[in-house]
């Protein structure tokens, strides 16, 4: 699918007898393989609108009473390693994962990890915006204590939900403006994951707090070419061994986190300053040179910096063909 191209699938386009099967296929195509079954006598009907914004999926779902299961068997068949932010727009939904269940009312949001089993249940008509973020785009890689936690619409997470809903709407009217805002989405969802963990009983621990300090140092100093493990550990007041251990407990590594943050900075510069040379961008983002940026950029995005910049320009013109 072309980046920036909106794909719409609706059961209104098929006959009644094929509606439920078509709906299941539409949901699986938009997200990951799941089992969908109606919880009311009538066949399933619904509409999915999906758009890919710079590698992040934004999907509007409107449908009726149903249950969605992501099982271990389906996970074994494949699918992405993604974080899903489910934002309830209308109706109510229940989300279950990691032994927790969240009730979603309009304006509430919860996070789901696509690599572990989960369930979604809707007792009646509903609509959601689901934002799908590859895990390597988020600094916080472990969501074990953040999934299926309802982030209240009256709390700070409402700011994140409103930003994501507004970004999806802006893409319809002004794709170029929407593209310039996309880099902020993963960071905001990382904040939401932190709030969800804080809302989970028993979350606080010395290890978790240390990890937060490490992430903070990396975010603030990623563009400094002198930043290494020893420097970061000293800034956190811990040993390098402790730093490695704390990150490993959450499936993270210092090198991968630093590389992703620097590439994220490079992505923003490549888009915002097309007149800058790739070498200049590399040095501005903490890389030792253009070749280091090329290797890191390809590892994170699958593209070279030049190809990414060309694609960003085309997307801004509404003519992206990547």
Per-position pLDDT tens, the chain of length 322:
345 588 999 999 999 889 889 999 999 988 889 999 988 777 788 999 999 988 899 999 999 999 999 999 999 887 778 999 999 999 999 999 988 999 999 999 999 999 999 999 999 999 999 999 998 888 766 787 899 999 988 888 899 999 999 999 999 889 888 888 888 888 889 889 988 887 765 444 567 778 888 998 999 999 999 999 999 999 988 899 999 988 887 788 999 999 999 999 999 999 888 899 999 999 999 999 999 999 999 999 899 999 998 876 555 444 433 3
Look up the CATH number of domain 7-172: 2.60.120.10
Distance of alpha carbon 268 from alpha carbon 180, whole angstroms: 8
Q: CA 261 to CA 263: how far, in whole Å?
A: 5
Sequential DSSP letters for 181-246: HTHHHHHHHHHHHHHHHHHSTT---HHHHHHHHHHHHHHHHTT-TT--HHHHHHHHTS-HHHHHHH
Phi-psi region of 71 (alpha: psi -120 to 50; beta: other; left: phi over 0): beta
CA dist list (Å): 209 to 42, 94, 234: 50, 30, 16
Where in the chain are all domains bearing CATH 1.10.10.60?
A: 206-316
Selection from 280, 285, 227 nearest residue 260 by Cα: 285
* Structure tokens given for 218: 């990396």
* Location of each CATH 2.60.120.10 domain in the chain: 7-172
Q: What angle do CA 303, 306, 312 make, to 5 degrees?
A: 80
Q: Give SS3 for 247.
A: helix
- The CATH classification number of 206-316 equals 1.10.10.60
């Amino acid at each position: 699918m072309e980046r920036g191209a909106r794909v719409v699938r609706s059961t209104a386009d098929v006959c009644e007898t094929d509606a439920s099967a078509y709906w299941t296929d539409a949901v699986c195509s938009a997200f990951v393989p799941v089992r969908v079954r109606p919880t009311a006598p009538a066949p399933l009907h619904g509409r999915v609108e999906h758009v890919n914004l710079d590698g992040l999926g934004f999907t509007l779902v409107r449908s009726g009473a149903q249950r969605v299961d992501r099982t271990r068997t389906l996970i074994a068949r494949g699918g992405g390693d993604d974080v899903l932010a489910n934002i309830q727009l209308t109706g109510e939904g229940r989300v279950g994962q990691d032994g927790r269940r969240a009730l979603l009312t309009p304006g509430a949001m919860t996070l789901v990890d696509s690599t572990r089993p989960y369930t979604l249940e809707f007792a009646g008509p509903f609509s959601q915006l689901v934002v799908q973020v590859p895990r390597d785009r988020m600094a916080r890689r472990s969501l074990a204590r953040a999934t299926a936690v309802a982030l209240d619409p009256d709390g700070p997470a409402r700011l994140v939900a409103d930003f994501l809903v507004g970004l999806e709407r802006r893409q319809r009217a002004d794709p170029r403006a929407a593209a310039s805002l996309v880099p902020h989405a993963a960071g905001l969802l990382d904040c939401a994951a932190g709030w969800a963990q804080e809302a989970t009983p028993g979350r606080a621990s010395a290890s978790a707090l240390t990890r937060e300090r490490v992430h903070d140092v990396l975010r603030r100093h990623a563009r400094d070419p002198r930043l290494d493990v020893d420097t970061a550990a000293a800034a956190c007041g811990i040993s390098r061994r402790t730093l490695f251990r704390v990150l490993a407990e959450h499936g993270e590594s210092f090198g991968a986190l630093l590389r992703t943050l620097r590439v994220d900075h490079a992505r923003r510069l490549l888009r915002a300053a097309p007149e800058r040379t790739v070498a200049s961008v590399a040095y501005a983002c903490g890389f030792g040179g253009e070749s280091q940026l090329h290797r890191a950029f390809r590892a994170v995005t699958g593209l070279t910096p030049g190809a990414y910049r060309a694609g960003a320009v085309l997307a801004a013109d509404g003519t992206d063909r990547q």
